[in-house]
Amino acid sequence: MSKLGLDVKGLADFSNPAALGRRVRRYGQAWGTDLGTAAWDIFTITGGDILVTHLYGIVTTLIAGGAPVPRIQFTPTAGAAPALTPMCAAAADIITDAVDTIYTWDGTIAGVLTPGAGVGVGYSGMEVGYQVLVPGVISITDADGNATGGVIDWILHYVPLDTDSLVEPAYA
């Protein structure tokens, strides 16, 4: 039995980088007093369902203050009462993570955002699990809410599952 997404030619063994699908970058997600514990939208999905093949973040300004604990969340746009749903578990705090620290995640709901082994090095662990998302919003929350600074760029790779599926960066 194969997992969803492994039937895309080259996706299972990463022999075909194009199999990761389309790439969208959301520049400059600031951490600080403006974030608190509220969800901040980073990507908007419209037009149809997508298969998330990879999602990672790169620190572009030193993370400072408090003990920020990032978590990726999803909220569908349709439904009787759309609710924020975790896409991953809350990470360990990312305080003082340096510029070019790369956060990756294995694609599972139980998985956490994990910093790479060294600055500028990330592990592409999405071969463990892929997620199918309907139109909605991907956001980041900070479980601690006390960060005073820092910026992370977020990069999403996806395969459209419908003709009109599109992911765009969301800015406040």
Q: What is the pLDDT of residues 46-70, one digit of tens each?
A: 999 999 988 888 888 887 777 777 8
Assigned domain for 63 exists: yes
Assigned domain for 3 exists: no
Assigned domain for 4 exists: no
Burial bucket for residue 130 (CB in 10 Å: 0-12, 13-18, 19+): buried
Please report the pLDDT score of residue 32 as a whole number.
58
Assigned domain for 2 exists: no
Assigned domain for 141 exists: yes
Q: How far apart are CA 169 and CA 44, in angstroms?
A: 6
Assigned domain for 12 exists: no
Domain that holds residue 33: 23-169
Q: What angle do CA 169, 3, 155 make, to 5 degrees?
A: 20
Q: How far apart are CA 83 and CA 66, in angstroms?
A: 27
The pair phi, psi for residue 17, each rounded to 5°, is: -55, -30
Please report the pLDDT score of residue 1 as a whole number.
38
Domain count, the chain: 1
pLDDT in tens, 21-45: 899 999 986 665 555 567 788 999 9
Assigned domain for 70 exists: yes
**66: Cβ contacts below 8 Å, ≥ 6 apart:** 95, 144, 145, 146, 147, 148
Global pTM value = 0.82
Length of the chain: 172
Counting residues of the chain whose pLDDT is more than 90, the rounded percentage is 25
Q: What angle do CA 124, 130, 133 make, to 5 degrees?
A: 130
Assigned domain for 27 exists: yes
Please report the pLDDT score of residue 125 as a whole number.
55
